Amino acid sequence: MHYLCLGYYDPKAFEDLSESERKALGAECAPYDQEFRDSGRVVSLASLEHGTHVVLRPDDSQTSVTDGPFAESKELVGSFFIVEAEDLDAAVRIASLHPAARIRADLGFAIEVRPIEILGMRSSETGELELVQGSVPQEPDADG
């Protein structure tokens, strides 16, 4: 199974860090990050750019685009990663290796773990988005 893990942080607390404090934070995170990556269970990992985001909403016959986030919140999603695990308990063990689960509670670090079904993935050969088998109901064939 796959699990989406959302990494939260407090943007105000992060903005209050000096440049040297941010560099020190990176150095503090590095060994935890390495252990997390070395687990061999991380499928994808990304950091979200701070302060740059929009929200799309259906609006009658068009799409409305507004500055995000959707709701005011003390904590924002700052990163995400996908892990492969046997069950939720195993996914939590893997996610607990991430620095946001281990250090700097004063920065609002937290991780949310949710089971997901991957519906499609881009093919490395064709570059096309390919549906994962079983992700879309198929019409029964003529034989039944």
Mean pLDDT of 128-138: 64
User: In the predicted model, is pLDDT for residue 136 greater than 50?
Assistant: no
User: In the predicted model, is pLDDT for residue 137 greater than 60?
Assistant: no
User: In the predicted model, is pLDDT for residue 142 greater than 70?
Assistant: no
User: In the predicted model, is pLDDT for residue 105 greater than 80?
Assistant: yes
Mean pLDDT of 122-133: 80
pLDDT at 56: 85
Please check whether residue 100 is in contact with residue 133, taking contact to mean a CB–CB distance below 8 angstroms: no
What are residue 80's DSSP bridge partners?
A: 6, 46
- For residue 116, the surrounding DSSP H or E stretch is strand 110-116
Instruction: Mean pLDDT check: name the lowest of 23-32, 72-81, 111-120.
Output: 72-81
Q: Is the peptide bond before 69 cis (omega within 30 degrees of 0)?
A: yes
Burial (CB < 10 A; 0-12, 13-18, 19+), residue 75, is middle
> How does residue 57 score in pLDDT terms, banded at 50, 70 and 90?
confident
Identify the residue with better confidence: 122 or 2: 2
Rg (CA), the chain: 19
Please check whether residue 137 is in contact with residue 34, taking contact to mean a CB–CB distance below 8 angstroms: no
What is the 3-class SS of 30-70, one letter each residue?
HHHHHHHHCCCCEEEEEECCCCCCEEEEEECCEEEEEECCC
